[in-house]
Amino acid sequence: MFDTLSDRLSATFKNLRGKGRLSQQDIDDTLREIRRALLEADVSLQAVRPFVAAVRERAEGTEVSKALNPAQQIVKIVNEELVAILGGETRRLRFAKNPPTVIMLAGLQGAGKTTLAGKLARWLKTEGHTPILVAADLQRPNAVTQLQVVGDRAGVPVFAPEPGNGVGNPVKVAQDSIDFAKAKMHDVVIVDTAGRLGIDAELMKQAADIRDAVKPDEILFVLDAMIGQNAVETALAFQDGVGFDGVVLTKLDGDARGGAALSVRAVTGKPVMFASSGEKLEDFDVFHPERMAGRILDMGDMLSLIEQAEKAFDAAEAEKMAGKLVRNEFTLDDFLKQMEQLKKLGSMKKLMGMLPGMADVKQQLNEIDDKDVDRIAAIIKSMTPGERDDVKIINGSRRQRIAKGSGTTVQEVNNLIERFLEAKKMMQQMARGGMPGMPGLPGAGALGGTKRKSAKAKAADKASKSKGRSRSGNPAKAKAEEAARQARRDGNGSLFGGDDGNGQFELPEEFKNLLPPK
C-alpha cells in the first residue's frame, strides 16, 4: 500500500547522499519533495502541514548542521516524525477490571467490519482470552449469517438471538449479550454493529444507543485504508456522532496510496490500534507506529518478522531438525515439514517486504509465486516413503510417475531433487570439517579460498609432513608415537570428535546442545 510513498521518499533521500553539508536550498528541495510525496499518497493537508513544519524546524537546526552525515540525519528526523504522526507508541487494548470487557465495532458498510470482528476474536483467543461475537448488525442482508460463518472459522461462539435482515432490536441484543457472556464465562464481548453506506443520521443514532446501553470499554472505528482523503471526513463524523477510542485499519494489502493511516491519527488524535492486511483471519496485527514508519522508509520490520516466526515455528521441532542436520539424517520429509511451517508465516512477498532495502528489488518480489511452495509439497507427497528417505533410488520411470502424480513436469521434479542433493552435499562437507573455502574453520581452505599454493610451498609442506611422520629408532617409542597419532586422528583432530573408548562416536560438548534430548 505504501509503495508509492516509499518510492518517492527513497528517491528524495538518494539526492542527499554524499553531501558533507546541506545548504538551505538542499533542505527546501527535500521538504518540497516530501510534501509532494505525502499529498500524492492521499495524506490529508491537515496532517501534512504540521509534519513538514516539524521536519523543517529540526532540519534547519544544529541537529543536521553538526551531523557527520547530514543525509542520514534527515532520514532519522523524517522517521521520528513519521512515528509521531502515526501515534508515537503502540496503544494496547484496555481490559475491564471486572469481566467481561466490552468492545464495540463501528464503521461504514464495506469497510470489512464483520470479518474484522472474527480476526479480532481469533487474536484475542490466541492471547488467552475467551471472546464471544455479538450479531447486532440486523440491517444488512445476511449479516448475522456472515458473522456466524466467520465465528465458526475463528473457533469463537456467536450470540445471535435475532435472524437479522431487518428483524430484531440491535440495542436489546447488545444488552442481552452481556448477561449471556457472564453466564457462559466469556471475558470479552465483541459487538458487531450495523455499517452505514454514508453518514446516516438514523444509524448513527442506533450506534450511539448501543454505546449507551452496553457502556463499552473500547469503541473501535473500523476504517477502510483505501478510501483516501474521505477517511478524515468519515472519522470526524463518527467521532462527533458516536465517539471512538481507537482505529482499526483494514485492507492494508490493497493498492491504494495509504494516506488514511497517516491522516486519521493526526486529525482525530485517536491512535491506530490494529491493522488488517489480508482476507485470512490470521492477517491481523497490533499496529506499531515505529514499525510502520520503518516499512515506509524501506528500513524493514524485522521485529514483526521475528514475532511471526516465533508463532509459526515449534521450538522442539526446530531442535530436532538441528540434530538431524548434524547427523546428516535430513530427508525430504523433514524438508517438507520445514516448508509447511514456512507457509504458516504467510505470503513470501509480504515476508520479504519486511526485510530492509527491499525497495531496490521490488520487481523481483512481485515475481514471487507463493504457489511454488504448494508445487514442491505436491512433488514430495507424490513420492513413496522410501523415495523420500533416499532420493538416489528415484530413476527415470519413478520421476515420470512422481511428475504425473503431482501435476508437475519431470523437469520440476529433477530441479527439486538436484537442489536437495546439493543441500545434503553441503551438510556433509560441514560434517567432515567445515565449509570449503571458509577461513578459520577446520577443514576450510586458506584465507582467500581457492588460491593455489606454489610448487615450492607444496614441497615445503610435503617435507614438513614427512619430517613429522618420521619414526623413532626405538621400537617401543615408535609404537607409542603411532598410538598418539592414531588418537589425534580419531579424537581431537576431528571437528566432530571421535571414539569415546567404547566404540561409540562422541560429539564435542559444544555440539551436543544441537541434538534432541534422549
Q: Give the whole-angstrom CA distance, residue 239 versus residue 233.
A: 10
Q: Residue 113 annotated as binding?
A: yes
Distance in angstroms (rounded) separating the CA atoms of residues 33 and 275: 28
Check whether 275 is labelled as a binding-site residue: no
Q: Can you spell out the DSSP letters for 486-509?
A: HHHHHTTTSTT--B-SSS-B---H
Residue 114 marked in a binding site: yes
Q: Are the C-beta atoms of residues 380 and 332 closer than 8 Å to each other?
A: yes
Distance of CA 366 to the CA centre of its chain: 17
- State yes or no: 504 annotated in a binding site: no
Cα(518)–Cα(512) distance, integer angstroms = 11
The reply to whether 112 sits in an annotated binding site is yes
Q: Is 258 annotated as contributing to ligand binding?
A: no
250 is in an annotated binding site: yes
User: Cell numbers of 281, please?
Assistant: 483471519
C-alpha cell recorded at residue 408: 508437475
Q: With contact defined as beta carbons under 8 Å apart, do 270 and 264 qualify?
A: yes
How many other CB atoms sit within 10 Å of the CB of residue 233? 12
The per-residue DSSP string of 435-486 comes to: -TT-TTSTTPPPTTSSPPPPHHHHHHHHHHHHHHTPPPSSHHHHHHHHHHHH
CA 255, 260, 263, 269 torsion: positive or negative?
negative
Query: Has 92 been labeled as part of a binding site?
Result: no
| Cα distances (angstroms) measured from residue 257 to each of 44, 205, 226 | 12, 32, 7
Asked if residue 428 belongs to a known ligand binding site, the reply is no
Residues ≥6 apart with Cβ < 8 Å to 127: none
Q: Is 195 annotated as a binding residue?
A: yes
Long-range Cβ pairs for the range 176-182 (8 Å, 24+): 177/132, 177/134, 177/136, 177/214, 178/100, 178/102, 178/214, 180/132, 181/99, 181/100, 181/132, 182/99, 182/100
Cα–Cα distance measured from residue 108 to residue 218, given in angstroms and rounded to the nearest whole number: 18
Please return the burial class of 239, using the count of CB atoms within 10 Å of its CB with bins 0-12, 13-18 and 19+.
middle
Tell me: is residue 251 an annotated ligand-binding position: yes
- Location of C-alpha cell 494489502: 253
Query: E strands of 242-364, at which residues?
Result: 246-250, 272-276, 284-286
Give the cell for residue 169: 432490536
- Answer yes or no: is 196 a known binding residue: yes
* Rounded distance between C-alpha atoms, residue 418 and residue 416, angstroms: 6
485 is in an annotated binding site: no
Known binding site: residues? 107-114, 192-196, 250-253
Known binding site for GTP: residues? 107-114, 192-196, 250-253
